[in-house]
Amino acid sequence: MLTALSVVANFCTIPLPGNNAVSFTVAICFFTGIYFGAVPAMIVGYVGDLIAHLIHPLGDYNWFMAISITLYGVVCALIYKAKLPQIAKLAISAIVCYIVCLCGLNTFGLWLQYIVGVRPSPLGLWDFLRGEHGDITKTFWLYLAGRAPMSAVNLVVNAVIVAILQESRTIAKLATKLKGKQNDKETAALADEQHSDAIKR
């Protein structure tokens, strides 16, 4: 369900100047990481992004942006293990994702694609490192300076959405209930496996 929402959110992205956008997939990845853990968040982020690209590709598949969106929920899942107030954990998650994902991976991937002129993939990165590219008209840091303010807007919008969802008891209870059912299924499967092993012995 969350993966489907991630796909839909990809199509509801609001474009901003300078190859920026407000992408609501960030909020979905945050939510998944907070309530369901790192692995489900990775799946929701990556698969949602990949399916959206396959349905409506916008140029070459950007591997760096894919890694970035995969990490959003993982960061939240790890930081939310700390014994801190919810708002503090959300703020730390947003700051880390802003630096690592948006200013780092996202911006680098777009810079390779639109400024350097190589594919935003491992092969494109290899070509760049070997110097097989045209004249670079704008350095990465200059490109980052232009993107950073709008990237901050993107993170703030998504963080506010997550904060509102966290304050909604209905949403929190639903997520906890779904997670509880998932844990019950895993426990039952483990018990069945242990019972089968005992019979074989």
Please tell me whether residues 61 and 148 are part of one structural domain. yes
Q: Residue 179 is part of which domain span?
A: 170-201
Tally of structural domains, the chain: 2
CA–CA distances in Å: residue 161 to residues 38, 102, 158: 20, 18, 5
Please tell me whether residues 142 and 198 are part of one structural domain. no
Please tell me whether residues 163 and 177 are part of one structural domain. no
Percent of the chain exceeding pLDDT 70 equals 81
pLDDT of residue 124: 86
Please tell me whether residues 125 and 177 are part of one structural domain. no
DSSP state string for 115-136 = II-S-SSHHHHHHHHTT-S---
pLDDT of residue 19: 66
* Angle between helix 140-167 and helix 169-200 axes, rounded to 10 deg: 90
Please tell me whether residues 74 and 28 are part of one structural domain. yes
Supply the mean pLDDT for the chain.
81
Using DSSP's 3-state secondary structure scheme, residue 168 falls into coil
pLDDT of residue 72: 94
Please tell me whether residues 131 and 97 are part of one structural domain. yes
Residue recorded with tokens 């680098």: 108
Please tell me whether residues 62 and 127 are part of one structural domain. yes
Please tell me whether residues 117 and 195 are part of one structural domain. no
Please tell me whether residues 152 and 183 are part of one structural domain. no
Residues 36-82 have pLDDT tens digits of: 889 999 999 899 888 888 887 777 889 999 999 999 999 999 999 98
Residue predicted with more confidence, 197 or 85: 85
Please tell me whether residues 175 and 134 are part of one structural domain. no
Q: Find the length of the chain.
A: 201
CATH number of 37's domain: 1.10.1760.20
pLDDT above 90: residue 141: yes
Residues 166-197 have pLDDT tens digits of: 887 766 676 666 666 555 444 344 334 433 44
The 3-state secondary structure of 13-55, one letter per residue: CEEECCCEEECCHHHHHHHHHHHHCHHHHHHHHHHHHHHHHHH
The 3-state secondary structure of 54-104, one letter per residue: HHCCCCCCCHHHHHHHHHHHHHHHHHCCCCCCHHHHHHHHHHHHHHHHHHH
Please tell me whether residues 126 and 182 are part of one structural domain. no
Please tell me whether residues 103 and 191 are part of one structural domain. no
Whole-prediction pTM value? Answer: 0.78
The CA radius of gyration of the chain, in Å to the nearest whole number, is: 20
